[in-house]
């Protein structure tokens, strides 16, 4: 089977620096824990790749297009097929006052966002800050291990995986004609990330699910039990 642009693939993958075999990223929780890179905020498990959307490096997407469902593969990518070659023009020297005006105290090694580009502070000296806007793995060969779990054709499954990707996976999805209802029960943590993710999910539904013309959101909130209500219940039990 040859996959094409627009296909939804559910995959597992891991990536290492070829030079020292350091694990950079994995979708597999156990591997992350073994390598000491586990992040409790990371959503481990299978990942969604929509081919043709630049969701992964171009070398990985090229390999995926030639794979089949159930197939596993290991390969090495050169920098131009991975995170690009290093560009010394992306190393900038900035006055420390620019950072402090934004209440940022720059420290070597920290990652910050400059003009929408993730940047690494390399050094701070004499009122000057050297920042590198190259990808941390730019100029390096990258090893990949990938498994294609499934090709997703069902619209409901596409929405479910999009929700997982954005951190707003619905508890239930109902579809009727051109209308979609996303239901979020009380177990879903409705924090700021959830609301941003949910907005991205709705936008993606209109982009990728051609039959959708309306999306409805239904949320469940349950009033928390207070200390007072617990005390009242205990008092009622004693009276009985």
pLDDT of 39-90, one tens digit each? Answer: 998 889 999 999 999 999 999 999 999 999 999 999 999 999 999 999 999 9
Helices of type H across 71-154 = 96-100
d(CA 6, CA 9): 9
CB 3 within 8 A of CB 9: yes
- pLDDT (tens digit per residue) in 95-132: 999 999 999 999 999 999 998 899 999 999 989 999 99
- Could you read off the pLDDT of 143-186 as tens digits, one per residue? 999 999 999 999 999 999 999 999 999 999 999 999 999 999 99
Number of neighbours of residue 70 by Cβ within 10 angstroms: 9
The torsion angles phi and psi of 238, rounded to 5 degrees, stand at -65, -40
Token duo for residue 161? 């995986």
Closest to 16 (Cα-Cα) out of 129, 130, 145: 145
Looking at residue 127, its pLDDT comes to 92
Higher pLDDT, 69 or 1: 69
Closest CA to 31 of 19, 13, 11, 18: 13
Which pLDDT does position 233 carry in this prediction? 59
Does the pLDDT at position 13 exceed 80? yes
168: phi then psi, degrees, rounded to nearest 5: -140, 50
pTM: 0.84
> Taken in order 160, 163, 167, 170, is the CA torsion positive or negative?
negative
Q: What domains appear along the chain, each with residue ranges and CATH number?
A: 1-85+137-153 (3.10.50.40), 88-132 (2.40.10.330), 154-225 (3.30.70.2210)
Q: What proportion of the chain, given as a percentage, has pLDDT over 70?
A: 94
Q: Tell me the three state secondary structure of residue 69.
A: coil
Q: Would you state the pLDDT for residue 122?
A: 96
- Give residue 238's pLDDT band: very low, low, confident or very high (50, 70, 90): low
């Amino acid at each position: 089977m040859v996959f094409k642009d627009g296909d939804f693939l559910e995959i597992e993958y891991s990536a290492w620096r070829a030079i020292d075999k350091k694990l950079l990223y994995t979708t597999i929780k156990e591997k992350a824990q073994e390598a000491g890179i586990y992040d409790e905020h990371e959503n481990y498990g299978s990942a969604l790749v929509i081919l043709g959307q630049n969701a992964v490096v171009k070398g990985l997407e090229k390999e995926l297009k030639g794979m089949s469902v159930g197939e596993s593969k290991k390969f090495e990518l050169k920098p131009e097929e991975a995170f690009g070659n290093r560009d010394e023009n992306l190393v900038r020297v900035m006055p420390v006052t620019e950072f402090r005006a934004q209440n940022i105290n720059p420290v070597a090694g920290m990652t910050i966002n400059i003009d929408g580009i993730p940047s690494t502070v390399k050094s701070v000296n004499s009122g000057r800050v050297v920042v590198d806007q190259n990808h941390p793995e730019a100029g390096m060969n990258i090893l990949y291990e990938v498994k294609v779990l499934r090709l997703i054709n069902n619209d409901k499954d596409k929405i479910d995986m999009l929700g997982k990707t954005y951190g707003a996976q619905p508890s239930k999805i109902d579809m009727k004609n051109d209308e979609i209802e996303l239901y979020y029960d009380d177990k879903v943590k409705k924090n700021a990330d959830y609301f941003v993710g949910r907005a991205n999910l709705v936008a993606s539904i209109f982009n990728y699910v051609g039959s959708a013309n309306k999306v409805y959101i239904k949320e469940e909130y349950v009033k928390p039990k207070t200390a007072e209500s617990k005390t009242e219940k205990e008092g009622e039990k004693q009276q009985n």
